[in-house]
Amino acid sequence: MALERLSEARCFGGVQRRYKGASQVLSGDAVFSVFLPDFAAANPVPVVIYLSGLTCTDENAVTKSGAQRIASELGIAVVFPDTSPRGDNVADDPDGAYDLGLGAGFYLNATQAPWSDHYKMEEFIVAELPSWLGDIEGLDVARVSISGHSMGGHGAMSLALKYPGRYRSVSAFSPICAPASCPWGHKAFSAYLGEDKEEWKLHDSSELIRSGAKAIPLLVDQGASDQFLVEQLKPELLKEACDITAFPLTYREHDGYDHSYFFIATFMEDHLRFHAKHLAQSE
């Protein structure tokens, strides 16, 4: 399948590109962005996939995270997918809520109508997107790590846990750590998956770790002044699951930081260096 290059801009010794492709998984067009360092012209570079949070598109992190400078220094590419399917025929919350429907795909495969026609972000991220990336010169798609923020942090962790061996490492900023136990998760999982709470656990990182998910290096940064910390994010449940199972979690909580891209930009370098270390290792 031919990808359409929508835009390209030079920055930090590399190029920031935006692509569009016809997605069979999402039953419509899908847009994603890629930062590709100049180093990739002669040496295919490993990839970090960054999953954004509620209400975002691929462009939020591209313009706000500050990832390009350090990615160029490290010789890695960063891929920024969208957060949900898009299009005139794609179901959306009838009340226009921000936490369901467009911009709120939760990185799972919906099984309930009307969402199941398009909302298959899990399959898109783990299968179709990598096949598209294989058509972009300069990317080493055999070496991939994954990261994300908030809903995207949930996506990064849950996909890394559900698909062992697919990613070298995983990190998250302010992730929804236990969606089966918070209001955002209850709303999304009820709509997309139905009321079988055992099915919910298959998309809940804390539950997956409790159930014996294969270990993968995991870094989580959380702002102590995050307005969603107590009600929605629940990192204590993730830490408890990791403690019980001796799962390799590095958890850092930072005084004064909130849920915004100011927080993400502050610690993006740490996350990319974390991934670069694991991407450089032989399997």
Structure tokens at 20: 């569009």
Number of H helices, E strands in the chain: 10, 9
Does 38 qualify as catalytic in the annotation? no
Q: Annotated catalytic residue: which of 23, 206, 226, 271?
A: 226
Closest CA to 218 of 254, 137, 164: 164
Strands (E), 54-126: 77-81
Single out the catalytic residue among 118, 149, 154, 259. 259
Residue 150 annotated to the active site: yes
As a whole number of angstroms, the distance between CA 225 and CA 205 comes to 23
Tokens 């709303």, residue? 187
Q: Which of 65, 150, 169, 174 is catalytic?
A: 150
Of 236, 279, 261, nearest to 62 by C-alpha is 261
259 is catalytic: yes
DSSP letter string over 244-274?
HHT--EEEEEETT--SSHHHHHHHHHHHHHH
Q: Which residues are catalytic?
A: 150, 226, 259
